[in-house]
Amino acid sequence: MKDRQRAIAALEKGKLSEVEIAIPEPDDYEVLVKNEGCVFCNTTDKMIVDDLFRTPDYPVVIGHECFGKVIKVGKKVKKYKLGDRVICANAIVNGYDGKYYSSWGGFAEYGIAGDLEAYLAENGALDEKNAYRARYEANEIIPSDLSYEKACLAFPLAETASAVRQVGDLTGKTVVVIGTGIVGYFFTYLANIYGAKEVVVLGRRQSRLEVTKKIGASQTFIDVNEATEYLNSRGGADVVFECSGNYQALESGLPYLKAGGLFAVYAVPKQAYTFDLLKCPNTFLYQRIDPIVSEAIGEVCELLAADKVPVEVFLTHQWSFDEAPKAFEEVRKGNVIKGLVVIS
């Protein structure tokens, strides 16, 4: 087996390129994964490349929405076996290889996944030297027979599904989704299948709002005042999901809530959210959602396997590995809902 591999890295702010790095060697608690594909995270990857997020430093290998097959197993691993399909393998396992940093490092031909439970059982709590092993929690197994188009959606859809589940039962409730990027699409779809009585979507592009009607939106609005008037006429929303990352969305979205309603923030804004308390309901709840993939990955994979996920709506682009840097420019321009880079 060769000892070098191709990877996609931000060499400096705003610049994405193909580079060559070492193929990592799994230790006793790890497995080597041959990646099949990786999806651009339209928000996180852009923010990393443009130095707007928690990037360790440049150059940095990007990508976390990857999936691939286990081809080598450490002797103390219990969770995985050869041939398992695993998500979120990391090309630079401890975060720095002496030249390249890693913001997950999923855009690479090979990566490392780990068995955290096996490590903790033998070694106890993670110390500072082994803190990087905490990321093993994301290395979930998904069905090997899912098509690439379905497999690539397992991680991001599970993130969103776990977020929806964290706000509680949506059965019979009026839900507002702010944002029409891929996260807004996911929330619209999931709120509908989780039993919401009505799903109202707010966005800036009419073409994207029209798409949300195909996946569960009952009403769509561009104008904030029209949305407020409509929701107030129906007693207000039970839950508002903020998925846009617009720092003004909190102020504009709070008037949609009924008294005691919940405003749940999923997106990462480029600057602090601001709002005027005088425009808020007398009582409301605020929740910052931190997705936990393990809580929803099984359920999401069942939906994918049963053809209940509108893959053709969510996955709009597909490229070869060689096309990844150029493809990223299409993501940056906002032309891509979700785009898959096929690695092998």
Q: How many CB atoms lie within 10 A of CB 145?
A: 9
Q: Which residue has the tokens 């504009």?
A: 252
- Average pLDDT score over the chain: 93
Distance CA 71, CA 68 (A): 9
Do 298 and 284 fall into the same domain?
Answer: no
Do 259 and 281 fall into the same domain?
Answer: yes
Mean pLDDT of 159-173: 95
Q: Is the pLDDT of residue 310 over 70?
A: yes
Q: The domain containing residue 249 runs over which residues?
A: 168-288
Mean pLDDT of 39-68: 88
Do 143 and 262 fall into the same domain?
Answer: no
- What integer pLDDT is reported at residue 85 of this predicted model? 98
- What integer pLDDT is reported at residue 80 of this predicted model? 98
Mean pLDDT of 73-85: 98
Tell me the CATH number at 229.
3.40.50.720
- What integer pLDDT is reported at residue 137 of this predicted model? 94
Residue 52 lies in a domain: yes
Do 109 and 250 fall into the same domain?
Answer: no
Domain boundary among 288, 311, 332: 288
Q: Is the pLDDT of residue 279 over 90?
A: no
- What integer pLDDT is reported at residue 1 of this predicted model? 65
CB neighbours of 267 closer than 8 A, spacing ≥ 6?
A: 43, 179, 183, 242, 243, 244, 245, 246, 249
> Would you say 314 and 184 are in contact if contact means Cβ atoms under 8 Å apart?
no
Mean pLDDT of 61-75: 97
Residue 161 lies in a domain: no
Mean pLDDT of 177-195: 96
Do 71 and 216 fall into the same domain?
Answer: no
Domain boundary among 268, 288, 308: 288
pLDDT band at 197 (very low <50, low <70, confident <90, very high): very high
- What integer pLDDT is reported at residue 104 of this predicted model? 86
Do 208 and 243 fall into the same domain?
Answer: yes
Residue 163 lies in a domain: no
Q: What is the pairing mode between strands 65-73 and 85-87?
A: antiparallel
Residue 335 lies in a domain: yes
Q: Is the pLDDT of residue 302 over 90?
A: yes
Half-sphere exposure of 100 (CA within 13 A, CB side): 26
Do 238 and 266 fall into the same domain?
Answer: yes
pLDDT band at 274 (very low <50, low <70, confident <90, very high): confident
Our count of domains for the chain comes to: 2
Which of left, alpha, beta for 195 (phi over 0: left; psi -120 to 50: alpha)?
A: left
> Would you say 271 and 250 are in contact if contact means Cβ atoms under 8 Å apart?
no
Domain boundary among 288, 308, 333: 288
Residue-wise pLDDT for 18-51, tens only, equals 999 999 999 999 999 999 999 999 888 888 888 8
Q: Is the pLDDT of residue 276 over 80?
A: no
Residue 142 lies in a domain: yes
> Would you say 186 and 43 are in contact if contact means Cβ atoms under 8 Å apart?
no
Do 121 and 66 fall into the same domain?
Answer: yes
Residue-wise pLDDT for 217-248, tens only, equals 999 999 999 999 999 999 999 999 999 888 78
Give the rounded percent of residues in the chain with a pLDDT score beyond 90.
81
Give the rounded percent of residues in the chain with a pLDDT score beyond 70.
99
Residue 94 lies in a domain: yes
Do 9 and 147 fall into the same domain?
Answer: yes
Q: Is the pLDDT of residue 254 over 90?
A: no
Residue 162 lies in a domain: no
Residue 249 lies in a domain: yes
Mean pLDDT of 268-292: 80
- What integer pLDDT is reported at residue 281 of this predicted model? 77
Do 72 and 21 fall into the same domain?
Answer: yes
- What integer pLDDT is reported at residue 54 of this predicted model? 66
Do 129 and 69 fall into the same domain?
Answer: yes
Mean pLDDT of 209-222: 96
- What integer pLDDT is reported at residue 53 of this predicted model? 72
Tell me the CATH number at 81.
3.90.180.10
Query: Which is more confident, 73 or 278?
Result: 73
Do 134 and 264 fall into the same domain?
Answer: no
- What integer pLDDT is reported at residue 290 of this predicted model? 86
